[in-house]
Structure 1
Amino acid sequence: MKTKVARMAIAILTAFGIGVYTGTGIGDSGPGATVAADDAAVHIVKDGETLWDIARGIADVRGQDIRETIYELQINNDIGDNDNLQPGQRIIIR
């Protein structure tokens, strides 16, 4: 499980870094892809993925409490406490 989280975090940060460096988006736009968008990364939700799944890798990399990361994702993406993510939904990561 930790390996999966670490891989997700590395993918998100790599996509973000390359996108910022080159000024372009990278990766495919299919489910589960992470692409750069200006000063943020965009994660495409996979089937069955939760906000906690996405936030866990980000929080680990940032050394941040996962609850803070979830709150930031909710605010940046207008997601309520009881909202379910949908496959293909784009989650902005700042």
Structure 2
Amino acid sequence: MSELEEPIKNIEQKLKEVTRRYSALKKENLRLQAEAQKLNNIIAQKEEELQQLRQQTIILKSGIQSWQPEQKKLFVRRIDAYLKEIDKCIALLNE
């Protein structure tokens, strides 16, 4: 019997280690899934904000036709800067 006890103990130890690792990986997987879901929600929110800003830009651009050319350029630059910043945020979140 003693020659079977040693291999059985080794198998039991390895099984315990595999089970422990599996539990740890399962917890890590759940954490990563929750983080991924959170980031996906942020991305969706930022994309919605971007779409709203683009719509506002279209509306505002149509309303600024009576402005002086210099006022128009300044306004367009400001809006473009905001859109670029939002695009950067979305790109960072997608990484």
Q: TM-score, normalised by structure 2?
A: 0.30
The structure showing larger relative contact order (alpha-carbon pairs under 8 Å, at least 6 residues apart) is: 2
Q: Normalized per residue, which structure has more strand?
A: 1
- The higher radius of gyration belongs to 2
